Structure 1
C-alpha cells in the first residue's frame, strides 16, 4: 500500500481529545471520481467543501455523500453490471450494492450536474439542463433516483462506473462513513459545475497539480483523496484508468498524535497497532 506523506496533518478539532468509548457505526456512502482526457494528462473534478460543514469542512473532495434509504429501490431502471457483481467488488450484499451504485449516480448529479444515465443502454444524456428541477428535488429528498429516472424515461448506466477503493473513517472520529469510491468518465456533451450548496468552488485538475496545490497549502486534502490522486497520477489516459484491474480492499486508517499534531496511519504502519482504543500520543 502506498504511504501517506509525513507532512499530512489533520485539522485540529477533527478528532476529540476523548474519543467515543464505543466507536460510532459508520454510515454507508459513495464517492465518484469524475475524469476526463486532455491533450496532456487526465484531469479529475474536485470541489472544496463549504467551511463549517460538519464533516471535512473546507477540504477539497470528489463528489459524493451518504446512502439514502430510497437508494435501495430495486425498481430503478438499470443497465450494466448487476448488483451481485458490484457486491463482489465491494464485499457486500446485492441490496447494499444497489444502494451504493444509486447513491453514486444520485450524488454525482446533485453535486456536479453530471448524470450517468441515458434513454437506453447504449446512450447517455448529453445535456442535463432540462433536468434542473429534478436535480433540486433530489437534493431536497423530495424525489428518489428511481422516481426521477422513471419519469424522465432514463436508465441508470452502471457500466459507466468502475470500482476503485473502499475507505472507512477512523474510529477516533465522531462522524464516520463507510465509503466506496468509484471512477467514471465525464459523458460527452456534459459539463460538471459547482451549483451545489455543499461546495464553495470547483475545478478540473490533473492529479499532480491537485497534490501540488495541497503541498503548497492552497487546498486541504483528506488521506483517501490524496491517495486516490496519487494512484491516478500513474495513468496516462482515461482509457487506462477505466481498464485498470483493481482489487478493492477495505482501508480503516487510525489517528495518532505526534508532537501535538494529528496524523493518519494506515494498516502496516508500525504505529497502527498502538492506536487500538484511543488517539495515540507520540
Structure 2
C-alpha cells in the first residue's frame, strides 16, 4: 500500500553481516589471537543473480523481507527477549520479534548458517550443528517455499534461536524516489563454531568471504557493484578492524533515509558520513 503522498511504503526487512576471523590472521600474536577476536575480520558477501528484480548483480549481505510468520510468539528463543530487542531496534515487540527471526531465518536460507543451537544446560556446552545433511536441506527448502515455518523447524529439532548471537548495527530506509522501498535493519553476527557457509544457489550466484577494508576500492573500480548501505557498512566494519572491535563498537539504531540530490550534474545518494554514491538503477533499492 502506498503512502499518502503516493510513494511506495517501505517493507520491513533484515540483513546480517556474517563475520569470521580472517584465516591466518597474525595481529596481536597470530591465529590464536584471531580466534579470540583480535585478528583481522572477514564478512560474507553474496552476488545476486542478474534476473532478480531487486539489486540484480549487486553484492549484498544475506537477508530479505519479513514473513508474517516471523512474528510467531511460539518460536523457541534465548538471549535478549523481544521486549528488549524492541527498545534496541525502536519498534514494537511484535515487529522486533519478527525482525530478529527474519534475520536468522534468511541467513539460514541463503547461506546454510543457522544462528541456533540446542538449549545450553549447566556444565554442558551446546552441540555444534551440522546443517549440511539431506534432512536439513529439506527444512531449508521448506522455509524458502514457505511450506514450513521457522518455528516448526526449530521446535521439531529441539533447538532455540540464539538472539544473543546477533548485534543490532543500523537501519536504512530506501529513498522515497525509488519505486521499491525497504526499511532494513542491519545486524552483525559471528559465524557459529563448527559451521561453514555454503553456496546454496537461488538468489545468489556467488558467495565470498571478503576483507571489508578492500570493498571500497573494488566498488570504485566497478568490480563489486553494490548499494550505498552495503558500501557504508563495509567501511564501518573495516574501521573496527577486528571481531573484538565490532563487539565493542557503539551503535545507535536510528532510521536513516539517504538524501537524494544532484551532485556535479549527477543524481547521487548522500550517506550519513556525507559521502555521496550513485543512485541505484530503477528496480534497485538500499
- The TM-score by the shorter chain falls in which range? 0.7 to 0.9
* Equivalent position of 1:123 in the other structure: 126
Q: How does 1:1-282 map to 2 (within 5 A)?
A: 22-38=6-22, 39-40=25-26, 41-121=40-120, 123=126, 125-130=128-133, 131-258=136-263, 261-266=266-271
1:186 is displaced (CA, Å) by 0.4
Q: Classify 1:206/1:270 alpha carbon distance in 2 versus 1 (closer, same or farther; 3 Å).
A: closer
Unaligned runs of 5+ in 1: 1-19, 272-282
**DSSP 3-state at the match of 1:163:** strand
2: CA distance, partners of 1:47 / 1:270: 24
Deviation per CA, 1:191-236, whole angstroms, max 9, x where unpaired?
Answer: 1122131001110011012222112211112111011011111123
* Equivalent position of 2:279 in the other structure: none
**DSSP 3-state at the match of 2:18:** strand
1:96 is displaced (CA, Å) by 0.2
Whether contact under 8 Å (1:252, 1:267) holds in the other structure is no
TM (norm. structure 2) is 0.83
Whether contact under 8 Å (1:79, 1:159) holds in the other structure is yes
1:258 is displaced (CA, Å) by 4.2
Range moving further from structure 2, 241-250 or 220-229: 241-250
Superposed CA RMSD: 2.0
Unaligned runs of 5+ in 2: 27-39, 277-286
> Would you say how many aligned residue pairs link Structure 1 and Structure 2?
252
1:267 is displaced (CA, Å) by 6.1
Q: Classify 1:258/1:35 alpha carbon distance in 2 versus 1 (closer, same or farther; 3 Å).
A: same
1:128 is displaced (CA, Å) by 1.0
1: CA distance, partners of 2:45 / 2:73: 30
TM (norm. structure 1) is 0.84
